[in-house]
Chains A and B, each alone.
Chain A
Amino acid sequence: MQEVVQASEMEWINNTLQKLGNLSQFPANWDSYGGLPLDPFVRDKAVTYLGWLEKEDLPTPDVFLGSGGTVQFEWQIRGKALELEIKKPGTIAWLKVFPNEEMEEGEIARPNAGDLSQLTHWLTRG
């Protein structure tokens, strides 16, 4: 049976893709320190990873460009924060900020859908 994705769940994905698209407009040296434009490879990876999360009921994240042409998604929910930086060659550097301000961070060299769901479930549950 085909799973149904709610329109509200798609909305945050569409908003995020739009924000991602906006980052493509920034030229080299956008940060005045030789910052690279959005890396197309990173952008494609980011789109793929967002696709893995399309069934998650998440708010639209803040989306930022990194100096190496990377992308960072940031969510804040009920005192918790999750940051995911997408880097070449598809690595995800993640940071969890707990309500008491303690932090936990790590990197996933070859992420899969399960890895991402685990991170977003930490954010949305409990």
Chain B
Amino acid sequence: MATARQDDPSISGNVRLWRRIPNRPKNYKFDEKLNRYRPTSINFRDQRDELSVNLADESKIAKILEGHSGFLIVEFTAGLAREILDPKVVICRDPEPDNPGHALICVKVSGGQSEKLAKKCRWVIEPVELSQASESAHDPVDPGTMVEALRSSPVQGRIWTQGFSTPLLVLLLTLIAVVIALFLFRN
């Protein structure tokens, strides 16, 4: 129960939290004011008032999505959660055998609070069909984590890298290979 858990002060304000959200049914929508797609507020409310998250620096995308193909991931900081949610919010570690970075945000989240979180979080894995619509709105994800995820998980969402999306990177590498081949052939 939420009351038995204690807030973990080591989860400081700048700690990045990842939350996996389902893509079926489509739990995102176009926000006219933000002019982009965002997850809907209902993703940030839990029937037990314990919101499951992962500490980004201690988690792997592949592990979070293991067995949940097609799911999406959003990111927000612990500081943002503490700012938006009830002052009594408890953010604590809840390690799982194969997922040591698992944590919980224990508090009853109101509609307004979840709406604010939904508007201020950012995509880490966004729906593929949204990638063009919101490309300019993204900050890069840690490239090390991205490479790890690419190696070990066939995710259906789109992973963001430092300035390059995966298909663009593949295209660029192919072009370089073609240019090198042509150069060698002519000589």
Binds A, one of B24-32, B86-94, B146-154: B24-32
- Are A30 and B22 in contact (CB-based, < 8 A)? yes
In the complex, which of the residues B45, B68, B71, B110 contacts A67, with contact meaning CB atoms closer than 8 Å? B45
Beyond A33-B52, A85-B42, whether A95 also contacts B25 by CB under 8 A is: no
Q: Are A105 and B42 in contact (CB under 8 A)?
A: no
A74 touches B24 (CB 8 A): no
Q: How far is the CA of A103 from the CA of B117 in the complex (A)?
A: 13
With an 8 Å Cβ cutoff, the count of chain B residues facing the other chain is 25
**B60 close to chain A: CB less than 8 A:** no
Q: How far is the CB of B34 from chain A (nearest CB, A)?
A: 10
**How far, in angstroms, from A93 to B110 measured CA to CA in the complex?**
9
Cβ of A66: which chain B residues have Cβ within 8 Å of it? Answer: 42, 45, 47
Q: Is residue A111 within 8 Å, beta carbon to beta carbon, of the partner chain?
A: no
For A85, list chain B residues within 8 Å (CB): 42, 111
Residue B46 lies at the interface, judged by CB distance under 8 Å to chain A: yes
Contact A33 to B42, CB < 8 A, known contacts A83-B115, A95-B112, A105-B110: no
Residues 22-55 of A at the B interface (beta carbon under 8 Å): 22-23, 26, 30-36
Asked whether A33 lies within 8 Å of B46 as measured between CB atoms, the reply is yes
C-alpha gap A23/B27 in the complex (Å): 12
Chain A positions 67-122 with a Cβ under 8 Å from a chain B Cβ:
67-68, 72, 74, 76, 79, 83, 85, 93-95, 97, 101, 103-105
Contact A32 B20 (CB under 8 A): yes
Q: Within the complex, what minimum Cβ distance (angstroms) separates B67 from chain A? A: 8
Q: Counting CB contacts under 8 A, is B186 at the interface?
A: no
Closest CB in chain B relative to A96 CB, distance in Å: 9
Contacts of B59 in A (CB 8 A): none
Which residues from chain B sit less than 8 Å from chain A, CB to CB? Answer: 20-22, 24-25, 27, 29, 31-33, 40-42, 45-48, 52, 68, 71, 110-112, 115-116
